[in-house]
Amino acid sequence: MKKLFLVLWIVLFTIDNRISAQVSDPCLAPIHLPIRARSGMPGLVTKINDKALVVEYPSVFDVHNKPDTLKYPNIRIQPVVFDVIRVLDDIKNNVSSDKIDFVLFFFLQEVPGWINSGGRYKTIAQNIGLSNVSVNLPAGWPRLKSNPHMNDVDFLSRTDPSLPNYGSTLTVFHEIGHLTSVFFCQASPGPRGWNKTMPLAHLGAGSSHWSWNYLKENNVIWPGIMYSGATAPIFNAFDLYAMGLMSYEESSKHMYTIYEDPDKTKTHKLKLDDLIFSLMQVGGNLYTAPGKRIPSTDPSMANLNILTVVVKGQDEKMSAKDSNLIIKLVDDLPRDWNIATWGRSKMASNLSFNNAFQISTPHQDAIESPINVYWNQSTNKLVMKLPSLYASQGLSTSIHDIQGRLIKRTKINYPSDEIFVPVFTGIAVVSVFNGNKILTSKKISIIR
């Protein structure tokens, strides 16, 4: 069966030139064009503790397009071509894919397209600025809402003096937020192009983000997470309304003070009805009278499961910093999400993984001893030779195929051992353990 190759063509929105390169988030908007998927072996699936999955291909560019620096000196505006369907298919047996709402994709290097919201797989609601168009759900992922393209793991280390998790959880929430926000003002020119003949909503939002011209109120620097770079660790009431976590009746009681750029003395109160009015002006399939969200709320947003995935090539190695950034992100997501949604939604990020063995860590690599492992084709056995360091230690080995399925687990005899491997041909991942600590993990070609 032919797979669909998910293509994310990215449109870079206009960003206020006052935002620094460090904190700006172009938050690119994808258009999905299906083409034929690439062929190739399934990725090797491992895990970082029980925090995240790691999918390894011969090259990361087997599933993602390469930077074209001649055509795009700034690869952050290069269109993204990422075979999401292939990767999701490769990992669906390693996790309860039928229970996952969001999948975050990270890489070990910067790839084209910067950080963007990825595919939207469902028509979430009417009257929030979205047309009734969505991408077909990948097989085996019935709850999947979107798959943010988070780019280089190292971007998680970006910080802001007032928002310690700016580059990590808040950036993730920003991309998740684009599932439903901010699409009320499709025709807005932004604050600098606004005039009084236009809907007031166009002064407060543009290019699928809230604008910069909000006043601080109730000790919060608005508009919050869905500005192009988060100004606060929470969503505003209009975001929660679009998500289905706040009713029209409650959200319409909230208002935010915006000003006419550059004169901060000319202020206006932005209300939910202003946003609905701007949709009414556009009409078409973006607006259905009387304009309230349909359905009014979304119970599926109250309890969410999020999966973190690192996609890498065989030539790339995770550093201690990479692993620690991923682990911290996964641990912080539930707490920060609950805060961001005003306590209205819970998010689970520590998930149970199936048939995915533990990836060796940089610390383990540092203490790795020269354990020799190879396949002896003449005897059809796996040969292991151990250094004297392990003379008195009880070691064991596990052998998996590249999809993470266990082939054999057994003890190893010192100083060398020949291990019979059940009928199997292909690439196997052979790991050697001292107790629960992995000493080495190698790919071995088993040829009979």
Residue 349 near residue 127 (C-beta atoms within 8 A): no
- Token code pair at residue 388: 């004297």
Alpha helices in 247-308 (DSSP H): 248-251, 272-282
Residue 412 near residue 386 (C-beta atoms within 8 A): yes
Q: What is the structure's pLDDT at 25?
A: 39
Q: What is the structure's pLDDT at 205?
A: 96
Other C-beta atoms within 10 Å of 352: how many?
8
Whether residue 182 has a cis bond before it, omega within 30° of 0: yes
The tens-digit pLDDT sequence of the chain (448 residues) is 333 333 333 332 322 222 222 223 345 434 333 333 445 678 889 888 889 999 999 999 999 999 999 999 999 999 999 999 999 999 999 999 999 999 999 999 999 999 999 988 877 899 999 876 666 789 999 999 999 999 999 999 988 878 989 999 999 999 999 999 999 998 899 999 999 999 999 999 999 999 999 999 999 999 999 999 999 999 999 999 999 999 999 999 999 999 998 899 999 999 999 999 999 998 888 899 999 999 999 999 999 999 999 999 999 988 889 999 999 999 999 999 999 999 999 999 988 887 666 654 444 443 445 788 889 888 889 998 888 777 667 788 888 876 667 788 899 988 888 999 888 888 888 888 777 666 777 888 888 8
CA distance 307 to 209: 25
Say whether 296 sits in a helix, a strand or coil.
Answer: coil
Residue 225 near residue 177 (C-beta atoms within 8 A): yes
CA distances from 276 to 142, 183, 245, 342 (A): 30, 11, 17, 23
H or E segment to which residue 237 belongs: helix 237-243
Q: What is the structure's pLDDT at 359?
A: 59
Q: What is the structure's pLDDT at 2?
A: 33
Q: Which residues pair with 306 in a beta bridge?
A: 102
CA distance 258 to 63: 43
Q: What is the DSSP string of 59-123?
A: -GGGTBPPP-TTT-SSGGGSPEEB-HHHHHHHHGGGTTGGG-SEEEEEESS--TT-SB---B-S-
CA distance 214 to 248: 22
Match 């292939």 to its residue by tokens: 86
- Token code pair at residue 100: 């996952």
Q: What is the structure's pLDDT at 133?
A: 63
CATH of 362-446, one of 2.60.40.3080, 1.20.1050.140, 3.30.70.520, 2.102.10.10: 2.60.40.3080
- Token code pair at residue 230: 């988060």
**Which residues, 6+ apart, have CB-to-CB distance to 218 below 8 Å?**
none
Closest CA to 334 of 207, 220, 173: 173
Q: Which residues pair with 430 in a beta bridge?
A: 399, 442
Q: What is the structure's pLDDT at 339?
A: 95
- Token code pair at residue 82: 């990422």
Terminal Cα distance for the chain, rounded? 30
Residue 242 near residue 346 (C-beta atoms within 8 A): no
Q: What's the pTM value of the predicted model, to 2 decimals?
A: 0.77
- Token code pair at residue 170: 């808040």
Q: Which residues pair with 346 in a beta bridge?
A: 303
The domain limits of the chain are 4-161+304-358, 362-446
CA distance 365 to 388: 19
* 135-147 burial: b if 16+ Cβ within 10 Å, else e: beebeebebbbbb
CA distance 265 to 259: 7
Match 């641990």 to its residue by tokens: 331
CA distance 83 to 119: 11
CA dihedral (319, 321, 326, 332) in degrees, to 10, reads 170
CA distances from 416 to 223, 429, 439, 445 (A): 65, 19, 16, 19
Other C-beta atoms within 10 Å of 280: how many?
17
